Amino acid sequence: MSINLHGYKVVVLGGDERETETLRLLKEHGADIEAFGTPASAEKALGREQASSLNQAVAGANILLCPIPLPEMDGSLYAPHFEGKIYLNPGTLSELAPGAVIITGVASTGMREAAEKLGLFLREYERDEDLMILRSASIAEGAISTAIQNSLVSIHQSNVIIVGFGRIGLALGHLLIGMRARAFTATPLPIEQARAYEVGLTVYPLEQLGEVVGK
C-alpha cells in the first residue's frame, strides 16, 4: 500500500533507534520530517541536525509521534539518548497545526485534556488492540533476549514466573514452553488464569507471588 505524506510535517520525539527507522520511512513517503531528543543516528535520516528546541520541533506539525514505551513516572517521554527531559504541556501542544494528530503509547490525563481543548486528535498505541497483538511477539522475544544476556543458567528447565498474563504474557508463555522452561504465572484476573492454564502454565493467584518466588 502506497502512503503519500507530501504536505505533512511529522515530528518525532525521543525514543531509540526505532525512531531513526521511523524517520527514514516517513521521509521515503514524502513527509516533511523533524525530530527532537532522538538518537544521533536520526540526523542521517533528517539530512541535518535535529531541532534545537521542543517548541521549534513541533511548530506547525500535522502529526506528532511520541515513543512507543510508556512515559516515565514523572510524565516525561522515553528519551534515553537525550540528556534532558521532554515534557508535553499545553503550551507546547498549542504550537501544533490546527487539527493535528498526536500518536503516543498512553496519554496522560493532562495530555488528553489539552488535546480536547485545542481540538487535536489523540491516538494511543495501547488502545489499538490489533497493533498490541502484533507487537506482543517482538516484546516477548526482547524479554527472552534480556533474560539470556543477564543469566548464568539456561532457560531450559529453569523456573520462570510471568507476572500478569495479558497479550505479552501469552506470547512469552508460548516461547518459554517451547524452550522447555518450567513456566508459572501469577495474576489476579480469572480470564488470565484460564488463558495461562489453557497454554499449559502453572497458575497462582497474585497474592501468592511472594510465596512462589520464595520457593
Position 4 in a domain: no
Residue 96 included in any domain: yes
Distance CA 68, CA 49 (A): 23
Final residue in a domain of this structure, among 77, 105, 127? 127
The pLDDT profile of the chain, 215 residues, written as one tens digit per residue, is: 568 899 999 999 999 998 999 999 999 999 999 999 999 999 999 999 999 999 999 999 999 999 877 778 788 899 999 999 999 999 999 999 999 999 988 888 888 899 999 999 999 887 777 777 777 888 888 889 988 989 888 999 998 989 989 888 999 999 999 999 999 999 999 999 999 999 999 898 888 888 777 66
Residue 36 lies in a domain: yes
Say whether both 111 and 21 belong to one domain. yes
In the listed set 127, 149, 178, which residue is the last one of a domain according to the structure? Answer: 127
Looking at the fold, whether 110 and 161 belong to one and the same domain comes out as no
Query: Do residue 61 and residue 17 come from a single domain?
Result: yes
Same domain? 106 vs 34: yes
Identify the pLDDT of residue 74.
Answer: 84
Final residue in a domain of this structure, among 77, 102, 127? 127
Q: Is 173 domain-assigned?
A: yes
Please tell me whether residues 155 and 119 are part of one structural domain.
no
167: which residues sit within 8 A by CB, 6+ positions away?
Answer: 132, 133, 136
Residue 103, C-alpha cell as written in the block: 500518536
- Under a CB-based contact definition with an 8 Å cutoff, are residues 42 and 78 in contact? no
CATH number of the domain at 145, please.
3.40.50.720
Which pLDDT does position 32 carry in this prediction? 95
d(CA 120, CA 40): 29
pTM above 0.75, yes or no: no
Note down the domain range covering 73: 9-127
* C-alpha torsion sign, points 115, 49, 77, 147: positive
pLDDT at residue 179, as a whole number? 93
Does residue 114 sit in the same domain as residue 134?
no
> For residue 38, how many other CB atoms are within 10 A of its CB?
29
Residues 122 and 134 in one domain: no
pLDDT at res. 1:
53
CB 180 within 8 A of CB 174: no
